[in-house]
Amino acid sequence: MMYPDYSQNNSDITEIVDTDKEEIADKIIELAKKSNIPLQDNTSLISNLIEMDLGENIPPQLYSVIAEILLMLDDIETNL
């Protein structure tokens, strides 16, 4: 799993700051299922994110997808 860093980024571009792919992803999936949060399988997005290295900027072609994810998370958080 990757964590975009928004807090201390001096540029307009978000960069990847941490990865721990399987363990954290499995925990997130487990919690989502327990909380009845809808899951979406997007292998293309996952492949693109997994190929990224720490400190690498998120490519522009993923901006809209990442924005949709963040909006979905905000909506879920608001409705909790």
Domains and CATH numbers, the chain: 2-78 (3.40.1690)
User: 62: helix, coil or strand?
Assistant: helix
C-alpha 43: how far from chain center: 13
What is the structure's pLDDT at 6? 54
Based on its alpha-carbon atoms, the radius of gyration of the chain, rounded to whole angstroms, reads: 13
- 51-74 pLDDT, tens digit per residue, is 888 888 888 888 888 888 889 888
pTM of the model: 0.46
Q: Tell me how crowded residue 4 is: count the other CB atoms within 10 A of its CB.
A: 16
